Amino acid sequence: MKRLIRVFLGLVLMLLVGCASTKVVEHWADPDFNAKLKNIMVLSLNQSDESRRLFEDGFLKALRQRKIQSSASYSFLPSNEDLDKEKVKAAITGSDIDGVLVLRAVKITMEERYVQAQASGTRYNSFYAYVGEYRPSYSSYSTEEKLVHLETNLYAVDGEKLIWTGKTETFNPSNVNAYLVDLTKTVLDKIDQTGFIQ
């Protein structure tokens, strides 16, 4: 029975290690901001056109699932060449957008992880088959893990004021879609705690 439990726990651990896991490693919220943003534009920087649309759509979907009015910057500024401060300001002037959520890819790093030795082996049945003999072997190894770093900033349009910033790290994202689901939930859950978005 104990061996069965150990095998089960080992399988669970392997599944957890294989999944993308996003965490907020740093964050700050403006203690003096007391308004409620009602309409958010998502703006993804320093990416290709395709990646920009993918990330903006990912956050757009997550915001709308939370019943938050939102839009993607590419619907106002289709070209990445238009993503400077003045053009963004001009694009949202006269609209009811009152917040801008800015995503910025920081870097991708590789980190070495040491995996401790675990027993594996074969059972050899002796003459007394109900006793048997188990000869375990132990092996340790190192593995490299991908770590994706992203910075998210939330600005209030009124006064062009930074009201929240956070840095995330994601271990071993298996694919972009799974990464975006994990990332958007982690970031928006943390922003929700501030009460800045209605």
pLDDT tens digits, one per residue of 96-145: 999 999 999 888 888 766 656 655 555 444 444 444 555 555 566 566 77
In a domain, 10, yes or no: no
Number of domains forming the structure of the chain: 1
Q: Is the pLDDT of residue 153 over 90?
A: yes
Half-sphere exposure of 79 (CA within 13 A, CB side): 4
Residue 164's domain spans which residues?
A: 21-192
Tracing tokens 């074969």 back to the chain, one arrives at 122
Q: CA 120, CA 99: separation in Å to the nearest integer?
A: 55
In a domain, 4, yes or no: no
In a domain, 100, yes or no: yes
- Residue 49: strand, helix, or coil: helix
**Concatenated DSSP letters of 72-140:** EGGGT--SGGG-SHHHHHHHHTTSS--EEEEEEEEEEEEEEEEEEEEEEEEEE--SSTTT-EEEEEEEE
In a domain, 148, yes or no: yes
Tracing tokens 């990464």 back to the chain, one arrives at 179
CATH code for the domain of 133: 3.40.50
In a domain, 84, yes or no: yes
pLDDT computed for residue 116 by the predictor: 64
pTM of the complete model: 0.74
In a domain, 93, yes or no: yes
CB 57 within 8 A of CB 183: no
In a domain, 1, yes or no: no
